[in-house]
Structure 1
Amino acid sequence: MRLSRRNVLIGGGAAAAALTCAGVALAQRPQAFGSATAVKVEAEPISQLSTTDPDRTRFGALQFRSGVDLRSPVSAFGGFSGLWRSGDGRDIIALADNAQWLKARIETADGRLAGLSGAVLSPLLLSSGTPLRRSRFYDTESLALSANAAFIGVERNHAIIRFERSRAGGLVRGVPIPVPEKLKDLPSNGGLEAIGIAPQRSALAGALVGLAEGGRGFILTGPRAGVFEVVRSGGFDTTDLAFLPGGDVVILERRFSLFGGFGCRLRRIEAASIKPNAGVDGEVIYESQASHQMDNMEGLAVHREGSEIVLSLISDNNFSALQRTLLLEFSLVE
């Protein structure tokens, strides 16, 4: 979701800066590239999550590993609302909300995030060759990848576009798939903020699952297809989801207030509780504080490194120079 505020405070706590937007979107979307384009990405390491307790590494059920503040001289860089990391954690795909996607290689130093290499921004195209940004599917908000396909969730004109994945990892032949009528009835700027593919051995058996910002959930494929509701609390809204290897779901939530700035929360929901007509809730495994280095966190990915389950978060800077594109990673403490 793109934030619209008349007076928006960017950042957290008393250190926030004010931005007057005259009732329009926080930043106008720049034009996406017409073809795959290599971009330069600079990174500033983030070694501590808490600015007031720099030695602290444990936060709820998460262990902070590292992070980077990503910047690029290219105005089309940013706006990332969806995230994927490969099984070994070395490759990354980030979906921007102006119908383009970033593909890059993760660089590390001493086991910590150090930056991105080989970064390429590419437009998303329909099977007809029409760029999504020039179609009614221009507002891309959520991303899920399988071995042979990628699914992109679209707000405003609510839809899911299925892309074939080439051997080189490119996305080709974007085609809308059937979606429930109840999904089409969602508010214009309150559509699918999150989609994910359940593990084959989980209770949902490889189903495609989506969550709208307001808590409405959809099991979109498989024998348990139907609608459910996620219990909301604390003023948080859904921004992404990711499945853990065992099938449980981690939901990324975001909260914004004029004086407090952006807040971030992660909840874990048991896979067996997600079924048609259910109301589901889950334990909070992390909630940010004003001293934590957070921004408008909208993308979540999960991968395994050895015995560790790694959760990665990326922020949507709304293409604003007053916000940051943060890539953070944590280990889940079971």
Structure 2
Amino acid sequence: MCGALSLVYAQGAPAPAGSLVPTKIDIRATPIEAFDPREPAKKQFGSLIFRGGLVLSSPHKQFGGLSSLRVAADGSRFLAVTDRGFWVRGRITYRGEAPTGIADGEIAPMLYSDGRPITARGWYDAEALAEDGGFAYVALERVHRILKFDYAKRGLLSRGTLVPALPEIAKLPSNLGLECLQAMPKGSSLAGALVAISERGLDDAHNIRGFLIGGPKPGVFSVKRSDDFDVADCAVAPNSQLLVLERSFSWRRGVAMRIRSIPLADVVSGAVLEGTKLISADMGFEIDNMEGLSVSRTAKGETVLTLVSDDNFSMIQRTILLQFTLLDRDGASASRN
């Protein structure tokens, strides 16, 4: 539910020769001291407390386009996927609770079951990442497929196999496909299912289509769309809430982000989900094209949200990593077991 240690640092089998070998990369970080530069001392934003952030860069030509990530239970090691069909992993370093840099950076192409990069099949645009029991699941936009990787066994050299999915997923718009992918936690009524939500595949009421894949009750649901926000990612919090990261863009207003919290119990076939807003931010804050969201826990039991932006490999955009502490309804750090 909050990231698996085995998922993030499995070592795998001996590496093949050539370009498929995972490559160590230098990921450079510039700290973000204030989420709102206009009020540098302010820390609380909606239901979140700003812990710190980083602007990331690397001389490696394939670094960038980070679309989703999962942070391990220790809050430091992470695995991410990119628009170009690559894995990126590393370790977040800290001073106190504030992130200060990225160590042990690695990058590798995603491989299909035939051992070749998925890009050899014309597949790329990895937009969503989930983990469950040491397996990694990756949703590919445009081709509308979900791949399953035995990550605990083979790490960055694991090979993807197709996950059977609902036929409605194949009907999503080409560049507005699956952006959210989350395995339902053990003990929940949906245990064994994957929740997937499209970026902007709309139903007849112009709400965003979501899907329950596998599990006891597969089916289709919707997330109520408002204020031109589209879905970018999702993660499950320890308080049995599905957190949905959203972003919007217009040439006049620029980019904006929002996070909504939806009770897991409400995620059922046929539902129209709305939830409550935890935070919203526009270009006045330290954001970019925020696309990735992960949840982890500190040793003190605090719930930490890690967000990452997709720079689209653009010179005018940034790769930003942000961390917040989630507050409970009473305004205290969420630390439920």
Length-normalised TM-score, structure 2: 0.87
Q: C-alpha distance in 1, partners of 2:280/2:230?
A: 13
Q: Paired residue for 1:112, among 81, 86, 98?
A: 98
Deviation, 1:166, is 3.3
Write the mapping of 1:60-99 to structure 2, written as runs, cut at 5 A: 60-99=46-85
CA distance in structure 2 between the partners assigned to 1:225 and 1:331 by the alignment: 33
Hey, what does 2:205 align to over in structure 1? Answer: none
CA deviation map 1:76-124 (0-9, x unaligned): 1100001100011120111101100101011112331011111000100
Whether the aligned pair in 1 keeps the contact of 2:245 and 2:293 (CA below 8 Å) is: yes
2:161 is matched by which residue type in structure 1?
V
CA distance in structure 2 between the partners assigned to 1:67 and 1:271 by the alignment: 29
DSSP-derived class of the 1:187 partner: coil
State the 1:170 CA deviation: 3.3
Deviation at 1:35, TM superposition (A): 2.7
Q: CA deviation at 1:171?
A: 4.9
- Alpha-carbon displacement from aligned partner over 1:3-52 (angstroms, at most 9, x marks no partner): xxxxxxxxxxxxxxxxxxxxxxxxxxxxxx64311111110011110010
RMSD over equivalenced CA pairs, Å: 1.3
- The 8 Å contact of residues 82 and 94 in structure 1, kept in 2 or not, is answered as yes
- Amino acid paired to 2:181: I
Question: Of residues 307, 310, 314 in structure 1, which corresponds to 2:308?
Answer: 314
Q: Take 1:166 and 1:271, find their aligned partners in 2: how far apart are those partners?
A: 27
Q: Is the Cα contact below 8 Å between 2:255 and 2:282 reproduced in 1?
A: no
Query: Could you tell me how far apart the structure 2 residues matched to 1:321 and 1:75 are?
Result: 13
Relative to structure 2, which stretch is displaced further, 275-284 or 102-111? 102-111
**1:228 is the counterpart of 2:221:** yes
Q: Where does structure 1 differ by over 3 angstroms across 4 or more consecutive aligned residues?
A: 166-171
Show the counterpart of 1:324: 318
Describe how 1:24-63 pairs up with structure 2 within 5 A.
34-63=20-49
Unaligned 5+ segments in structure 2 are 1-18, 201-207, 329-337
Quote the residue 1:130 is aligned against.
116
> Contact 1:103–1:121 (CA<8 Å) still a contact in 2?
yes
User: How many pairs does the alignment contain?
Assistant: 302
Whether contact under 8 Å (1:133, 1:139) holds in the other structure is: no
C-alpha offsets along residues 289-326 of structure 1, whole Å, 9 cap, x if unaligned?
A: 33210000000000111221001100000011211100
Structure 2 residue identity aligned to 1:329:
Q
Report how far residue 277 of structure 1 moved.
Answer: 1.0
Which amino acid is 1:37 matched to?
T
Task: Give the alignment partner of residue 250 of structure 1, picking from 220, 237, 243.
Answer: 243
Change (3 A) 1:229 1:171: farther
Paired residue type of 2:280: E
Structure 1 residues 168, 125: closer, same or farther in 2, change over 3 A? Answer: closer
Q: Specify the SS of the correspondent of 2:169.
A: helix
The 2-side partners of 1:64 and 1:206 are apart by 33
Aligned partner (choices 222, 247, 256) of residue 263 of structure 1: 256
Structure 2 distance, partners of 1:76, 1:89, is: 25
The question of whether the paired residues in 2 share the 8 Å contact of 1:163 and 1:171 is answered with: no
Aligned partner of residue 111 in structure 2, secondary structure: coil
Contact 2:24 2:106 in 1 (8 A): yes
- Structure 2 Cα separation of the partners of residues 169 and 156 of structure 1: 25
**1:141–1:153: 8 Å Cα contact kept in structure 2?**
yes
- Name the amino acid aligned to 2:222: E
What per-residue deviation string (whole Å, max 9, x for no partner) do you get for residues 253-280 of structure 1? Answer: 0000102211000000111111111111
1:75 & 1:94 partners in 2: Cα distance?
Answer: 16
Post-superposition offset of 1:138: 1.9
SS in 1 for 2:168: helix
Q: Aligned in 2, Cα 1:103/1:269: closer, same or farther, shift over 3 Å? A: same
What is the identity, as a one-letter code, of the residue corresponding to 1:287? S
Query: Partner residue of 1:5?
Result: none
SS at match of 1:213: strand
Between structures 1 and 2, the one with greater helix share: 2
**5+ long unaligned stretches in structure 1:** 1-32
- Displacement of 1:168 after TM fit? 6.7
**Could you tell me how far apart the structure 2 residues matched to 1:290 and 1:156 are?**
28
1:117-157 alpha-carbon deviations (Å, 9 max, x no partner):
11000100011012111114222111011232000001111
> Aligned runs of 1:175-186 on 2, under 5 Å?
175-186=161-172
Measure the CA separation in 2 of the matches of 1:34 and 1:216: 35
Could you state the TM-score of these two structures normalised by the residue count of structure 1?
A: 0.88
State the match for 1:26 in structure 2: none
Give the Cα separation in 2 of the matches to 1:162 and 1:35: 20
Give 1:72's aligned amino acid: S
